[in-house]
Amino acid sequence: MMSDYQVVSSKDCLVSEMFSLEELFSKRNQREALLHLSGKPNKVGSDGVLLSELADYWSMNSESIRKVIEQGKYRPSLIYQTDFIKKSGGKRKISSFGTVDRFILRLLEQKLNRYLNDSFLEHCFAYQENKGVLAAVSCVQQFLSKNLHHLVEIDLHHYFDQINLEKLQEQLGGILEDRRVLDLLTAYMYASVSYQGQVHENTIGLIQGSAISPVLSNLYLRDFDQFLESKGWNWLRYADNIYIYCKSKSEAQDIYKEATEVLVRDFDLEINQKKSGVFASMNRRVLGYDFLLREGEVICQKHQYTPLSYYSGWHPSQLNFVNRQYHIVEGGILNQKDYSLLFENEEHRYHLPIEAVEQIDIYSDVIIAPRTLKLLAQKRIPLVVHNDFGNIQAYFIPETMKSPAPLLLKQCQVYLDEEKRLLLSRQFELSHFHNLRANCRYYLKRYKSNKLLLEIEKDLTMAIKEVHRKKSVDDLMLLEARVKQIYYPIFNEILNQSGFSFVKRTKRPPRDPLNALISFCNTILYSRVLRLIWQARLEPKIGVLHASNNRPYSLHLDFADYMKPVIVDRVILSLINKHQINATDHFEEREDGSIYLNREGKYIVLRSFEEKLQTRLVMGGSTYTYAQLIQHDIRQFKRILQQDGDLKRFKPYKYY
């Protein structure tokens, strides 16, 4: 790669013989890869293969996949990328791969590390077994003990993203004798990537999150490490961070100029000028460690970072890759600040990285800056406004989340076809009534002799059988109304706290604390379901069981109703019976007699509700949260619509 200088080193960095494709797919290498992946979360890859099914899938399809690889025609599944905001405030990409590709990449990683690690120089510390931060810090201590008072620090700007793939491919071509392995590595380097809704072929930089990227990043800078070694400098490199310790400032300045020129000219890399330069070595933090001189000895200690303060007026959902929802329960101003949202009032300022948000729900008086709405639209983040009772008052929906015409027409066709609509409506109601009965049976385990619960359970069983006899959607809705009247008295049999009782269902507005809880929790569920419907780009105005009439949306009611018994009702009964919420402290009454949760009550309910949504259940040998189950049903519904397949295959979730 470097032509303007001679590389001289005491350590031969060349690899005389690399692995073949047959060695890559050896039984031992496959066993190690499968064992490694077996300890990872059981997720579905972009190829539709569940990780727990990988071994069986590979056993059945490995021959055909290997044949394509041998022909040099293998193309990885589409890689999906999202942005992740680091604690430091920086941003990096997270990639989601096909399950089969994760396996093949792991095979490649194991072999590349086995053959290349010995070729990396002693002072290259990242991404290697038996090396790491502590070894690098120990090396720094040794340099500082030599009275090297000046430090050249070079930080490479977006290193992974800037690597010249043609030059890297040339490096690999010089050490790989098996062309088939090189073709496979090349396919992963130039794989197709979906980012922010756009699909493109990767043409520059290593894909972050790929198992082979770390070792290839070390390979790319191996010649530069040789250059540093040939100069006799006191250097070390940790990934894209380069440190060179010098005796004088003038020496450090000369080295900085020469080293950065080589990186830019020969490696096509960009220097991060904000973090690079010449510094006093003893005062410079390295890899998260501070160094100081004590009684003539250089000691190091982990830097103690000041933790971020969180504003209690925000209630965050449990953050994961699937569900990222934030609730604002206090008044203030919502504005944009760099890569974050800034919420502030007289008492607090709270920064929320925009990449950590998929929906914002507002339950208070909040001023929203226009540019904030532009940012939310750009990032496809809906915003939902609630009144004091929790009822949804307004939506802000980015245009890119709205249903495309072909999918909208499919929904309309089903709705207008009485037979199809009735078939799907029966499926919704079967799940709904089943879950009501499951809830009743759940509490019968505790109250075995309760005659009313036994009677309700019997009536619900009869209602399930009656679903198949209904000849219209209207008849099903009438049956549902009767079933709810049968079911709601269950609350009085379970509740053990005064101030909560069920007389009748009142809403808009609720007239007692229990109805206020039911309405508020129902609305939270509606909001979550709406977000998942928008993300699937279905049209929520077009319902199935619930008629598409003058109400703003209908489809979310179909998906929410059958989940209410196992989510909403369980949360309410648990909060009351555990005395986490009470009728005196957590509710307020208006002059017209309406009842609603106060700020503290909303916070308690929101926290408990989010915890419930993240509760994990086992289904078909895999674990899902309630939030994921709802998402699964919505995607199932969309897939059946698009394929115009057998509508009988649509099976909404049933609790067992």
Provide the pLDDT for residue 363.
82
- For 620-642, the pLDDT digits (tens) are 667 888 888 888 899 889 888 88
Are the C-beta atoms of residues 502 and 492 closer than 8 Å to each other? Answer: yes
Range name among 17-26, 89-98, 233-242, 441-450 with the lowest pLDDT average: 89-98
Can you name the residues that pair with 350 across neighbouring β-strands?
A: 343
Of 614, 611, 582, 613, give the one whose Cα is nearest residue 598.
582
From 203-212, 261-270, 430-439, 603-612, the region with the lowest mean pLDDT: 603-612
Partnered with residue 386 across adjacent β-strands are: 392
Structure token pair of residue 124 = 């290259």
pLDDT tens string 518-567: 888 998 898 889 888 988 889 989 999 988 887 778 899 999 999 999 99
Residue 349 has pLDDT above 80, yes or no: no
* Percent of the chain whose pLDDT exceeds 70: 92
More confident residue, 89 or 499: 499
- Tell me what pLDDT residue 11 has: 39
Residue 576's identity, in one-letter code, is I
- pLDDT at 322 (0 to 100): 37
Please state the rounded mean pLDDT for residues 101-106. 96
Query: Per-residue confidence at 323, pLDDT binned at 50, 70, 90?
Result: very low
First vs last C-alpha separation in the chain = 62
Cα torsion angle, 95, 96, 99, 100, sign: negative
Closest CA to 478 of 437, 515, 425, 531: 425
What local confidence, expressed as pLDDT, does residue 553 receive? 83
The two beta strands, 383-386 and 392-396, are antiparallel
Kindly tell me if the per-residue pLDDT of 8 is higher than 50: no
Residues 6+ apart with CB under 8 A from 649: 640
pTM confidence score: 0.51
Helices (H) and strands (E) in the chain, counts: 22, 23
- Calculate mean pLDDT across residues 41-59: 90
The whole-angstrom separation of Cα 166 and Cα 179 is 16
Is 307 a residue whose pLDDT tops 60? no
β-pair type (366-368, 277-280): unpaired
Is residue 308 predicted with pLDDT exceeding 60? Answer: no
pLDDT band at 306 (very low <50, low <70, confident <90, very high): very low
With the C-alpha atoms ordered 208, 213, 216, 221, is the resulting torsion angle positive or negative?
Answer: positive
User: What are 479-500's pLDDT values in tens digits?
Assistant: 999 998 898 888 888 888 888 8
**pLDDT, tens only, 180-205:** 999 999 999 999 999 877 899 999 99
Angle between helices 451-467 and 418-444 (to 10 degrees): 160
For 344, phi then psi, to 5°, come to -145, 150
Nearest alpha-carbon partner for 615 in 555, 579, 563: 563
The predicted pLDDT at position 1 comes to: 52
Digit-coded pLDDT (tens) for 333-348? 888 876 677 887 777 7
Q: Regarding predicted confidence, which is higher, 154 or 208?
A: 154
